[in-house]
Chain A
Amino acid sequence: MEKIKKIADKIRKRVLEHTIKNNGGYLSQACSSAEIFASLYGGLMNLNPIKEPLVPKPFMGVPSPNNKNYLPGYYFNGEHTRTSDRFILSPTHYSLVLYAALIETGRMAENALDDFNKDGSSVEMIGAEHSPGMEVMTGSLGQGLSQAIGMALGRRLKGETGKIWVFMSDGEFQIGMTWEAFQFMRHYKLDNIIIYVDVNKQQCDGNINSVMQLGDLSDKLNSFGAKGITINGHNIDEIWNAAKQEHKEKPLVVLCNTDPCCGISELKTNAGKLHYIRFKNETEKQRYLEELKKLEDELKKE
């Protein structure tokens, strides 16, 4: 668990570094989900190993009948086998967190973020199917889960034992299609899907409760026939134990209550505007540099 904590801290540090360098970034997403990504890529998921950290390929064109060079980004998740798991990142506004997790778990080269949001690179800001770690085309919110269901049902039909892990944001539970998906999973008794939700209570327009309230998500999920449990999303033991919960004939949904400012308290000054952090002036940037120094010092202690 110490190892996982260290990965989480390094994810936070790397995303903060990157945000400072680029004068902006999806920083709060890293703060809320660092422990979840660290756990998933740190051993919760059964992914095949990678021989050495991979360097992302440049953008190779979109899929088409004429594009023979096309390759989705799942090669970072190891070889696809009948027993290996799959990872679906539904809200690709978390791409930077995924990239950081790939680097910190030795799947992607250290300097890969130099290509982030650069023209002609596959390391896109809001990742697409060809971006590192991506299995399918997501980012249009709500579509990740249903695609995952198709894969889960397909794998069950083929008799494969590997699971599908889905990362979702709480905002996606405002979408009607999400509930169509839960209805479907219950009907087909799909239990080879595990969903981790970053319940950071934030969305693009601000705090979820001010935009569109979700009500009791756990109640809603359980009444839709899923196994919904709520945990502290920064507690690594709870994240790991949740995955062991029995969920026969139904999907497991782990609602991770998180703090979008966790580990970087300076973010609290941006309350209500956490979706994308952009520094207003040099003094603000300085304060984040101090936060970075704090994180670095802590990592040295570990």
Chain B
Amino acid sequence: MQKLSYVHNKNLKEFAKDKKDILVLTADLTSSCEADYFKSAYPDRFISCGIAEQNMMSVAGGLAREGFIPFVHTFAVFIYRRAYDQLAMSIAYPNLPVKIFGFLPGITTPGGATHQAIEDIAIMRALPNMTVLEVGDATEVETVLDIAYSIQGPVYIRMLRGEILRLFDKNEPLKLDTPRILSDGKDILIISSGICTEEVIRAVNALKNTGLSIAHIHISTLKPFKNNIIKNFLNKPKYGIITVENHTIIGGLGTIIAEKLVEYNINKKLIKLGLQDTFAHGAGKHYLMKEYGFDAISVINNIEILTGSKFNIKKEYLEKIEIEPMHSLAKPEAL
């Protein structure tokens, strides 16, 4: 299992090296959002805004109008809770190429409710012109910049920091509106995003020898969600579908899949794992995922509910599972 650190910090510095139109804006959370390597390397292109997110958002809009590509970095909560009107009117409405990096998604911080972005996808997805991306591993952290930079409009990125696993092959970059098919199967379909994908990989590995056939799909583009890849998978599972997200179950991945099921006229049972319409509190990531029921064990428990079988998988066993970088099963021509 490959664990990397400062992935974004190193990558951003390298990515922005020859792209002089990139400016980085922060609101007193520069190293907390891994933008300090950029700051040291290109101080002229670094704009410290202080604890003043509303001004920062509108300034970013103004800079974009003059031809720059502002990369705004702060904690996700302060983007959409504190400066939403500015984000909507100074950036999203004029469809300006401002790239917004929201750190500490969901329960990835012990900082408690004030720091945990649990409804950001719901809100950002509702905002016209906004593209919404979420990274789930080191490969996606490294490659999300190419996508964000290439889009001619605003992009919101649910970003990870610190120590991050490499779940996906280094040579398989994040692609816009392209699900990663991690396994195929006819009994159960699990669709996960962000940090939940690691949990689902553990659960699926643990059930390998049970005879259960599980399809697992990882989602990194939450908007647009227009791909047809998912349709065939939604049709397949005998027992039902489980979505797993580090977000409230209202308005995020679970809701997207529910919308798709209705749109395609597919009648399948859907279980949405994630925060069940509740705020969380300050504690460790694994503790909270267990408490709120979207860790690997919870996934297995819900598979048991859908299938009516018992698998007797122990928590200790799940933790020991070694994860090697995975390849997407989808063939390029099928995408």
Contact = CB atoms under 8 A, between A and B. Distances in A.
A143 B93 CA distance: 13
B67 A146 contact: no
Contacts of B90: 136-137, 143, 146-147
**Interface SS, A side:** helix
Question: Chain B interface residue count: which class?
Answer: 20 to 34
A244 interface: no
Contacts of B58: 143, 146-147, 149-150, 177
B62 A153 contact: yes
A62 interface: yes
Interface string B24-40: 00000000000000000
A153 B94 contact: no
A65 B152 contact: yes
Contacts of A72: 94
Interface stretch (A9-17, A103-111, A179-187, A252-260): A179-187
A74 B63 CA distance: 17
Contacts of A177: 52, 54-55, 58, 86
A188 B59 CA distance: 12
Given A140-B89, A177-B86, A150 B66 contact: yes
A40 to B, nearest CB: 19
Given A63-B95, A65-B129, A136-B65, 14 more contacts: A137-B90, A147-B61, A149-B62, A150-B65, A151-B62, A151-B65, A152-B62, A153-B59, A154-B63, A177-B58, A177-B86, A180-B50, A184-B49, A184-B59
Contacts of B60: 150
B50 A187 contact: yes
B153 interface: yes
Interface in B77-134: 85-86, 89-90, 93-95, 128-129
Contacts of B86: 143, 146, 177
Nearest to A188: B47
B93 A154 contact: no
Contacts of A285: none
